[in-house]
Structure formats: structure tokens, C-alpha cells
Structure 1
Amino acid sequence: MCLLAMSNSLLQSAKKVILTEAQAVMMLADGLDQSFIDACQLIQNCTGKVVLIGMGKSGHIAGKIAATFASTGTPAFAVHPGEAGHGDLGMITQEDVVIAISYSGESDEIMTLIPIIKRLGILIIGMTKNVNSSIGRISNVHLDVSVEKEACPHNLAPTSSTTVALVMGDTLAISLLINKGFSVDDFARSHPSGTLGRRLLTLVSTIMKIGDDIPIVSADTKLLDALLIMSQKTLGMVLITNNNNILKGIFTDGDLRRVLETYPNIQSLTISKVMTPNCQSISKDRPAMAAVQMMDEFNLNSLPVVDDNNQVVGAINTHTLMQAKII
């Protein structure tokens, strides 16, 4: 087979896989019914944790669903059914809810654990293709994750079925997130490390320039003198305040270009004549990401930071945010 023919064949195979799995997910959406609502209510009423159990490929899906639950406000963990029979079952308590994932619904490793789980009075949500399977019959709530066919051309390798199970888990987790009002701040507390946590948790107060690093001038300052201060402070702006340090306006690098195009002689200009009054500002207690969003919305490169009395307490710009790895 020539290279071009092989490339075309690979692309066609890839597209067929994607379309097959996409169709399976769409069928899942069409098939949601009261059982899904019952499962959500069962999980929401749980006073313990959600325990995910699956064998083989379903075990990998169980781990991912447990991680999604945990990061979106529903305490959860995954247990390998083989290890559970050798001590890990002690991690499960009477307050927990078990989600048993098995496409066939006949996993021997899971069925071995069912009598003990039932004896503890733990409620079970089964995710299988058949409500009349062994796991389907013993489940308090059954979620249908059946698919017409796997993406595997031999209809053997778990592909569409594992995708649908994963999507069902995401659907449960996000539906519960929305129902309980899980906020961005709540999400941030679950993700304190790395880029995501830094972006969500960092406050303006921790990255803003303060004190002598803030480029501040009075309204009667000559433009040329204001430009000198703007150059020295390297924030690409100067803030204009009154005697009580109350913000009156801002002048930026971008404003300078417009001034040079408008005024042939800038020697006698004062900063008050060319500043932008009633400018955008932000509180030091706001998340740094709020500053990013405000700067994007109003096409700004810098922001003054003010207190409740509109007195200047700091300043930030795009470079400040980049240094803090917020953007």
C-alpha cells in the first residue's frame, strides 16, 4: 500500500471510530430517564463517600469518574475489586454508596463482593448494558450504558462502551455540581496546586505593585513629567489622584500615541487634559483572574487597584499577571 493510500485509510478509520463513539454518546443522552434522577438523589443523600468499582477497562473508567466526583464536590474513591477481596473492602463503610461498573453486568470479581456490600446495607448503583444482568438485578438503581456497537471493527475491544460509561460518570458529577451550587471558589479549593489552582486562588493583593512602585501623579502635573515617572515605574501607565489619593484617571502608553497624533506641541500640556477619567479599577480582594477578565473585556493592559473609598492602593498590568503565571 502506498503512503498516500495508507494515510487515507488511517484517516477514514479514525473518523469512523469518532463517529461511532459520538453516536453512542448521543444515544446515551436520548435514553436518560428517571433512573438517572434516582441515582443523583441517592448520591446527593449519601453521608459517606461514593465508591467506584470496576474490573479491567471498567476499572480505569471507575478511577477517572471517582477523580471527577472528588474534584467537583462529591467525595469519592475507586476500589479495585480484586484488592477489595484482600482487605481493601475495609475502606467501604455503611454510609457509602457503591457504583459498580461492568458492561456485561456479570463481572465475577464484583459479584464476589456484592454479598458483603449488601450485608452492610450499602446502596448500589449499577452501570451495565443489561438491567437483567447479575449486577443489574441486585442494584438499587440501574443506569443503562449499552451501546449498539464498539468502535473496534471486531466489536470486541471496549471502546464505545467505556466512552459511554465515562460520559455517564461525568454526567452524574456535573449534574450534582450544578444542583448543589458548587462554585469556582469551591473548585479552586480542590485544586490548590499547579496552574489551575494558582489562577483561581491568587488574589490581586498578592501580585499588585504597592508603595513607591505605583506610578502616581497629581492632576496638574505636566505631561512630560508624568511620562518620566511612567518610564521609571515601568508599568506602562501613570495614575492620577487628588490630595487624598483618590483615583481621578489614568494615562497609558496607548494614550501617549494618541496624544502625539492630536497635539503638535505637548510642552504645556498637563496630565489632567489628556488622562482617561472614570477609568476601570479593581479591588485588591478580587481574584487575579477577575483582573484578567476585566482587562480582556475592556481591552486594557493595566489596572489601578483601589479600596472601598476609591483610594489607590496598588497597580497591576499584563506583565505583572504574566510574572505571577496567571496568564
Structure 2
Amino acid sequence: MPTGAPSQPDDEAAEIITAFERHLRLERDLSPHTIRAYVSDVTSLLHHLRDQGTGETWLTGLDIATLRHWLAAQHAGGLSRATLARRTACARTFTAFCHRQGRIPTDPGLLLGSAKAPRTLPAVLDQPQAQAALTPTEDTTPKALRDQAILELLYATGIRVSELCSLDVGDMDRTRHVIRVVGKGRKERTVPFGLPALRAVDLWCVNARPLWSTPKSADALFLGTRGGRIDPGTVRRIVHTRLRQVEGAPDLSPHGLRHSAATHLLEGGADLRSVQELLGHSSLNTTQIYTHVSIDRLRAAYRQAHPRA
């Protein structure tokens, strides 16, 4: 049986997976995306255990050798370093959980080395491309006004797509030009935005949102065409569609607008700590990648322009 495509688990495995999923959601407070990935990884690991014939129960034989064998099989299957790093982290989380619950006598994950995901520099818009992407169209339909407001707010604040989708109308302070954002780990932060974003959101809220609002809209700031809270997939399509209209622009996701906003802030003289706070990074190391983006762009400009580069 292929490790990457496990079959339906039996009752014992299903009980373990359900308990682990509950732990991730209630105790670890991980994002739904991370929970789905971890549950898939653990399902793969449990089937690997059963396929190895380690015993009559699912967790018999869960030791460091088996973990390494499972990861080696993943690597042989051609998985990326980033995926292997996530699966290593998941395995460590799972064995610690099983040990605390008394399901296994020791925690083999403590002996498992931490795989490092490659730190690749993100693609970003340059400032003229960002300006072109945010230039309003002449379209004044509700969809066009909503899309413009979403693009302006994503770039103005650098918030994550999940954070944007969870915004309520009351989260925007129009007087102080800030929004209240609930990020990873339910950590709350306040993020400023500028006049273009304020104007775009006001146009949406006054002229368009009431036309789509239904009882199921509740207080959601951005709505889908049927009146429910907008979903991340719709936001991604909005960003891709707009960037396809900008000549020379890379095809970015909403996270690419976040990268672009951070890079442009640093290029404009913002200090690293302020950008860290704005983005909601728990570690300054995560924010520092944007300094590398700026330096690489500076080197490229130097090589192109300097006669003795």
C-alpha cells in the first residue's frame, strides 16, 4: 500500500486519529489547514506501522527506527523538503501525544531530528506593479467594489487571507485607521491601514455590501455572492485574476501580497520590529527573510545599473 495514500483506517486507528485531531484543535489551537495536514500525515504513519507487521495493534512498534523508515519512504516517493519537514514535526507531536496518554511507553519522537524546510525567497511585486494592481477599474458592480476593497486591504495591512476572511465590520476603526486582527494561536493584534484602503472598504460597505447581505451574513465584513462570509478560495481567485492583468507581474497568491507589503515597508525605511508586529510573526527570524528579499533586489539593480558591477 502506498504510504502517501492510506486506505480507510479501522476502528482502532480511527479512534486514535479522532483523539489526536481533538488534541490539535482544542489543546494546540492549530489552524484548520494544519490540522487537516497533520491528520493526513498520522493516517499515513499508522498505515505504515500496520504494513510493517509490527504487531496486532496500531501503535505496537512505534519506535525511532519505524519513524525514520516512514520518513525515508516519503523521501523516496519524491516529497519536497518542506513536506518532509512538516511530517517530521507532525510525527514528533503525535508521539508526544501518545506518550502523554499512556498509549506508548516512551516517546521516540524525542530522538527524531528536526528536518529543516528550505528558506526560499518569496516572489513579490515591485512597487510599480503593486500600484498597477491596485488601480481601481471603472466597474462599480458589487463584485468589483468588494474585490477592490479586498485587494487594497490585503496590501495595506499585510494580513493573512484567513485573517481577512474572519474580519467583521466592527473590527475596523475608521477614525484611527486600524483593524483588529485575530491571527495564529488566536493572538490579537492591531494593524494600521491607509486612506486608499479606507475609501475602498467604505465604498463596498455603503454601496455594495447591503445588496448582498442576508441573515447568514451576520457581521462579516466581506461577503460572497450568496451573502455568506467570503472564503479563502474566492480571495485567491480575486488576487490571481487581478495580477494577470498587470504586465510583467508574477502570479501571486494573497500571501504574495503579504510578502510584497512587508518588502515595500522595509524598502521604505520601516524597522524590522515594526514589520514583525504588523505581520503577527512570533519570531523575528521569520520577518528577517524580507531583508534578504530587499538585499537581493538591491544587488540585481546594482548589477544592472553600475558600470563596474
TM-score, scaled to structure 2: 0.24
Which has the larger strand fraction?
A: 1
TM-score, scaled to structure 1: 0.23
Find the structure with the greater CA-based Rg.
1
Which has the larger helix fraction?
A: 2
